[in-house]
Structures are given as C-alpha cells and as structure tokens.
Structure 1
C-alpha cells in the first residue's frame, strides 16, 4: 500500500524535474549564449556553460524517472548554485515584486537538497 511519504516523494520528483525540464528545453531551442556570456564574464572557461544541458535536461529526466535521483538531484543542485552565483552573485536583493531576486533558483536548489536527502521513493525506477 502506498504511503503518504512515497506519494510526496513522487510529487517532489515530478515537480522538480518537470519544471526544470522547461528551462532546459528552452536552452535547447534558443541556445545558451546568455549562459556562455555569464560564465566567461566570471572568468571561467566557456565549456562549463555546456554543463547546463546536463543540469537542466539529463538530470531532470533522471529525477522524473526516479533513476539515480539522488545523484541527479546533486547535479541539479550544483547547477542551481552556479546559476545563483553567475546570474545573481549570491545577492539577497529583492525583486520588483518584493520577493528575493534569487527566489526561483533558490527553490530549485532547496527541492534538490530535499530530494537528495529523501531519495526517489517507492515509485522510482531505483526505488530508494
């Protein structure tokens, strides 16, 4: 019989992976020129920008499936740390709507940490 925690883990996986996948598909369609600019402006090598495809396409698919979800969530968490660093510089400034400017990537980071700690649950391919 399914438990509430297994259903919650499934919902977390589907939400985290599904929402991030939209960002990745956008980058596949429109390219990663903006990411490349941010990476090189920070003094990092340009090839690092291509990691966004791993963090926003491959990792979310693994998360949705529950296939090595802990590893995939770690990859996505690192991706979100880089996004926060590159796009916002870890600033705690407010947006024009009153929330933190880093709110979206911060939520993805926290969800990645939660999934890493909880595992994929009963409904994942690996079921851990």
Structure 2
C-alpha cells in the first residue's frame, strides 16, 4: 500500500502544481515575459525558472522519471513563493506554498515508489 500511496501523492500533487504552472508556461511560449522578479534576476529568467519548477518538473514527477531530482526545483520555487513573494502576506495566502513545499519534500525524502519509471 505504501507504493500506491506514493503514486497518489506524486501524481495528485503534481497535477495540482500543473494548474499553477500551465498559465506561466503559456505566457512563456507566447513571449509575454511580464512577471515578478523576486530574486532580482529579471522578469524573463524568473518566469523561466517558475515554469521549470511548476510545469516541467511536475511532469517528470508524475511519470516518476528522475523524481528526486525533479522535486528540487519545485521545492525551491515553493520556498521563494512562501518566504519571498508572499513574505508579508498573511498565513492563509502562504499556506498553499507551504503545503506544496511539504508534499514535494516528502517525495524527495522517500522517493517515487515502485510505480514509477525510476523503479523500472
């Protein structure tokens, strides 16, 4: 049952993350680089990094390919969201970022389970 639980955690969390990443991905491919710059590296690089963390890596996590590595950009993105982008916001605003951070940290620590490409 542990592996089934990890599959559900991996897939459902990543699908939920994709709902945040898809609009950013569509913005990126439309060459609309208007985006926040929380790290001071520029709007376009910030958007690109957010797309990697919220769209590309969750796809890898869903299929279980290089899962532990794929969680790292997503975790970093959620750290930036929680502690920089929403630093002055009330907890209720930060809560989603914390939940995603917790979920993807658990996936990093325990791995993808046997229902993944990593285990094939």
TM-score category (smaller protein) = 0.7 to 0.9
Q: TM-score, structure 1 length as denominator? A: 0.79
Instruction: Give 1:45's match in structure 2, choosing from 29, 41, 45.
Output: 41
Name the CA shift for 1:50/1:110 in 2 (closer, same or farther; >3 Å): same
Aligned equivalent of 1:116:
108
Gaps of 5+ in 2: none
Change (3 A) 1:86 1:49: farther
Between 45-54 and 75-84, report the one with greater CA deviation.
45-54
TM-score (norm 2): 0.84
Cα RMSD between the aligned structures? 2.0
Q: Show structure 1 runs of 5+ residues with no match.
A: 95-99
- Give how far 1:45 is off: 1.3
Larger Rg: 1
> How many equivalent pairs are there?
114
